[in-house]
């Protein structure tokens, strides 16, 4: 067999994954395995003899326990692998371990801000407090065309952050808190050198109190205006243009300089996933995350509906009981949220999942969680909360891509890593979004939208190699190289604060 007939996702794993249909007697030389059963592509093969009751690992994480003795080379699936006692045991902190720091600290070229944060881009953001100011915001931002910014080569642009809410909502509810955190998070974001908040005047989400929460910003770099105070649309646009124009010299004064990778906060996301996501792009991204963590950086896993029911995957890695408890509290919130909206959380493997080779909910969720690598879980954040911890952290978000990435960006992510198998069309406002294709077909068909291929892992390129490729791409794009979605103009229409609560 060619060396692409199966794939190993972690050196500690008890299984390899077939990448084509295998027959009894096929020899997989580099894994030292002789196949003992008919194994469909995407399904698991034991690489060693496993005793009944022993844990089985994929991505170096437990996906279940052998229900019977399993010989080397045997097909592993629902007939011989189950959840065992695992589902009643959160095993908090049981897999906690030290991550040795990288020998040679890597750097990228970033914009150092006076408050110590480091940007990967240098934007001015025009922020709508309410949908009613969206058109004014767009007009202010659109005024600053590349031609008008030609004298300011260090400015990446003036972006419009508009949204659909800010009024017709409970002024004290969770929805308003989330909106404020999101807008304020963007205002203080390392990629945003200056911000103008634009309100209508009579909305629920008043600009004054919102901005008051921000604390001190650099002089002149936080401005506000209200359309009604100024006498309408045209005057408001004019004022906003003046405010931004006054900021341009100071924003342009920022220059890129070498800074340690420990300043990076990377948001992890996936959308339009396919059967390869959990085999190629996601675990390879996880490998890059382990490297980032070794360099002292931060990586944010999210998308709570995709880990629901498999929270053990994260609680085992929790650095403390507090961290695990916070995660469990968010899962409880979700159960209530979906129930009161007439739905339910159900992340169990479907018939189709099982046909594709996914045996347990742990293994299914691992497909998504694999993005987060294998280091300790150091903190859990609510949606759009400011991320301050280092290492691997979790932020509670929906799985819906634009909403999830907007929360990560508001929390401080200066790079988003996004894996896709079906071909996502997404870019995050103000934050470079690197798109990883999970398979060669997508890579070739939709090159226009994809930044990095990981599909060649199925041709035998090692995960280590692809993880390094991803790490390098993060450094490159953090240092200024435009991503495909930036080149295509994505971002402003994909700024989506999570909408929770009634629209009244």
- Residues in touch with a copy of itself (CB under 8 A): 131-136, 138-139, 162-164, 167-170, 173-174, 200-202, 227-228, 231-235, 271-272, 305, 337-338, 340-343, 398-403, 422-427, 445-449, 488-490, 493-494, 496, 498-504
Work out what residue 340 binds among a copy of itself, Ca ion, none; the CB cut-off runs from 5 to 8 Å by kind.
a copy of itself
Shortest Cβ 398–a copy of itself spacing (Å): 5
In terms of CB distance, is 94 or 164 closer to a copy of itself?
Answer: 164
Q: How far is the CB of 109 from a copy of itself (least distance, A)?
A: 27
CA-to-CA distance for 486 and 85, rounded, in angstroms? 47
94 contact, one of a copy of itself, Ca ion, none, CB 5-8 Å limit per kind? none
Smaller CB separation from a copy of itself, 41 or 272: 272
Footprint of Ca ion (CB under 5 A): 270-271, 303, 399, 401
123 interface partner picked from Ca ion, a copy of itself, none, CB below 5 to 8 A per type: none
- Between 132 and 361, whose beta carbon lies closer to a copy of itself? 132
**Angle of helix 134-143 versus helix 233-252 axis, rounded to 10:** 50
**Among Ca ion, a copy of itself, none, what does residue 283 contact (CB within 5–8 Å per kind)?**
none
Least distance from a copy of itself to the Cβ atom of residue 212, Å: 22
CB of 424 to a copy of itself, least distance (A): 7
Tell me, letter by letter, the H, E, C secondary structure of 143-181: HCCCCCCCCCCCCCEEEEECCCCCCCCCCCCHHHHHHHH
499 contact choice in Ca ion, a copy of itself, none (CB below 5 to 8 Å, kind-dependent)? a copy of itself
Q: Choose the one of Ca ion, a copy of itself, none that binds residue 270, judging by a C-beta under 5 to 8 angstroms depending on kind.
A: Ca ion
Give the 3-state secondary structure percentages of the chain, helix then strand then coil, rounded to 5: 35, 20, 45
At 12 the three-state DSSP class reads coil
Are 494 and 402 in contact by the 8 Å Cβ rule? The answer is: yes
User: Which of 304/375 has CB closer to a copy of itself?
Assistant: 304
The residue among 104 and 147 lying less far from a copy of itself, judged by its C-beta, is 147
Nearest to 197 by CA among 206, 386, 189, 218: 206
CA distance 412 to 100: 25
Measured distance between the N- and C-terminal CA atoms of the chain, rounded to whole angstroms = 62
Q: How far is the CB of 102 from Ca ion (least distance, A)?
A: 28
452-453 and 433-437 beta bridge pairing = parallel
Least distance from a copy of itself to the Cβ atom of residue 302, Å = 12
User: Which is nearest to 416 in space by CA: 369, 408, 424?
Assistant: 408
298-301 vs 391-395, strand pairing mode: parallel
**Distance of alpha carbon 462 from alpha carbon 450, whole angstroms:** 20
In angstroms, give the least distance from the CB of 404 to Ca ion: 5
Residue 186 binding partner per list a copy of itself, Ca ion, none, with a CB distance cut-off of 5 to 8 Å that depends on partner kind: none
Among Ca ion, a copy of itself, none, the one that 501 touches (CB under a kind-dependent 5 to 8 A) is a copy of itself
Beta bridge partners of 44: 17, 76
Residue 248: strand, helix, or coil: helix
User: Min. distance of Cβ 265 from a copy of itself in angstroms?
Assistant: 23
């Amino acid at each position: 067999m060619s060396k692409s007939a199966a794939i190993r996702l972690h050196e500690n794993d008890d299984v390899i994954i077939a990448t084509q249909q295998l027959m009894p007697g096929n020899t997989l030389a580099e894994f030292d395995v002789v196949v003992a059963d008919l194994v469909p592509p995407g399904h698991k093969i034991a690489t060693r003899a496993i005793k009944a009751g022993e844990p089985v690992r994929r991505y170096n994480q437990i996906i279940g326990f052998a229900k019977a003795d399993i010989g080397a080379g045997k097909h592993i699936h629902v007939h011989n692998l189950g959840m065992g006692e695992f589902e009643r045991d959160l095993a908090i902190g049981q897999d906690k371990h030290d991550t040795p720091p990288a020998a040679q600290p890597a750097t990228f070229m970033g914009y150092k801000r006076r408050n110590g944060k480091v940007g990967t881009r240098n934007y001015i953001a025009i922020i709508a407090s309410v949908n009613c100011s969206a058109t004014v915001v767009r007009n202010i931002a659109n005024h600053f065309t590349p031609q008008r910014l030609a004298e300011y080569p260090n400015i990446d642009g003036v972006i419009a952050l508009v949204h659909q809410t800010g009024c017709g909502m409970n002024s004290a509810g969770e929805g308003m808190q989330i909106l404020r955190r999101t807008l304020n998070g963007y205002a203080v974001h390392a990629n945003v050198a200056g911000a103008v908040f634009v309100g209508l005047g009579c909305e629920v989400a008043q600009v004054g109190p919102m901005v008051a929460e921000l604390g001190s910003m650099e002089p002149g770099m936080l401005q506000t205006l209200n359309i009604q105070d100024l006498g309408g649309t045209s005057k408001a646009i004019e004022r906003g243009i003046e405010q931004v124009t006054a900021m341009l010299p100071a924003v342009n004064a920022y220059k890129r300089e070498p800074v340690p990778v420990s300043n990076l906060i990377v948001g992890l996301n996936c959308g339009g996933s396919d059967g390869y996501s959990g085999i190629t792009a996601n675990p390879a991204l996880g490998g890059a995350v382990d490297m980032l963590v070794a360099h002292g950086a931060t990586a944010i896993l999210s998308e709570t509906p995709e880990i629901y029911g498999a929270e053990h995957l994260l609680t085992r890695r929790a650095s403390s009981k507090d961290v695990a408890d916070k995660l469990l509290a968010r899962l409880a919130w979700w159960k209530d949220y979906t129930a009161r909206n007439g739905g339910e959380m159900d992340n169990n493997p479907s018939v189709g999942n099982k046909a594709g080779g996914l045996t347990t909910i742990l293994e299914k969720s691992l497909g998504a969680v694999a993005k987060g690598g294998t280091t300790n879980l150091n903190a859990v954040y609510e949606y759009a909360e400011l991320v301050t911890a280092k290492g691997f952290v979790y932020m509670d978000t929906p799985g819906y891509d634009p909403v999830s990435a907007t929360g990560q960006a508001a929390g401080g992510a200066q790079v988003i890593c996004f894996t896709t198998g079906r071909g996502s069309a997404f870019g995050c406002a103000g934050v470079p979004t690197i798109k990883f294709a999970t398979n060669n077909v997508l890579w070739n068909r939709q090159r226009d939208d994809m930044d990095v291929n990981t599909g060649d892992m199925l041709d035998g390129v090692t995960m280590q190699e692809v993880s390094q490729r991803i790490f390098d791409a993060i450094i490159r794009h953090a240092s200024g190289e435009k991503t495909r979605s930036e080149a295509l103009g994505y971002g402003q229409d994909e700024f989506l604060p999570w909408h929770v609560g009634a629209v009244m």
